[in-house]
């Protein structure tokens, strides 16, 4: 969102186009915030990318310029998002890490296809050594 100002109406395409579940879609909304993307596990406060928050009606969507999970409160803070301002927060990952789980009143695991798909029996494995443990025993 370089070149755009907070409060400005913007349109952005999101999606990696790596498979049928990541086809790009265009989102239109109001640019609510800009911030830093922290790395996975937030071992440091090092910035690894950029994020912006787009308000689309009563829904805010945080968009990052690379694929890293939000797993700590500091990920949201550095993104320019006050986590306590929200009743519902959705993250796309296999499970909640300790810090987010501790503040969550309810964790719901959605079994959706994608890069953190938990139904391993439905993953289309290719070019892998056999046997696959534990699904195939030697």
Alpha carbon distance 16, 80 (integer Å): 23
User: What is the per-residue pLDDT for 42?
Assistant: 53
Alpha carbon distance 93, 135 (integer Å): 23
Mean pLDDT by 10 residues, the chain (138 residues): 91 88 93 93 78 96 90 92 93 82 87 72 76 74
Q: Which of 73, 49, 53, 72 is closest to 63 using CA atoms?
A: 53
User: What is the per-residue pLDDT for 38?
Assistant: 92
Sheet holding 9-14, edge to edge: 9-14, 25-38, 47-56, 59-64
Alpha carbon distance 30, 10 (integer Å): 6
Non-local CB neighbours of 27 within 8 Å, separated by 6+ positions: 11, 12, 13, 14, 54, 56, 61, 63
pTM of the model: 0.79
**What is the residue extent of each domain of the chain?**
9-122
User: What is the per-residue pLDDT for 84?
Assistant: 93
User: What is the per-residue pLDDT for 132?
Assistant: 75
């Amino acid at each position: 969102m370089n070149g755009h100002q907070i409060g400005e109406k913007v349109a952005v395409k999101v999606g990696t186009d790596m498979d049928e579940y990541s086809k790009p879609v265009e989102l239109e909304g109001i640019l609510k915030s800009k911030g830093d993307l922290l790395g996975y596990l937030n071992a440091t406060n090092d910035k690894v990318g950029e994020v912006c928050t787009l308000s689309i009606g009563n829904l805010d969507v945080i968009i990052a310029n690379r694929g890293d999970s939000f797993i700590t409160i500091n990920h949201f803070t550095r993104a320019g998002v006050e986590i306590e301002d929200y009743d519902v927060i959705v993250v796309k990952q296999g499970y909640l890490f300790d810090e987010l789980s501790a503040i969550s009143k309810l964790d719901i695991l959605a079994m959706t296809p994608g890069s953190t798909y938990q139904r391993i029996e439905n993953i289309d494995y290719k070019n892998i050594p056999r046997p696959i443990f534990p699904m195939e025993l030697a």
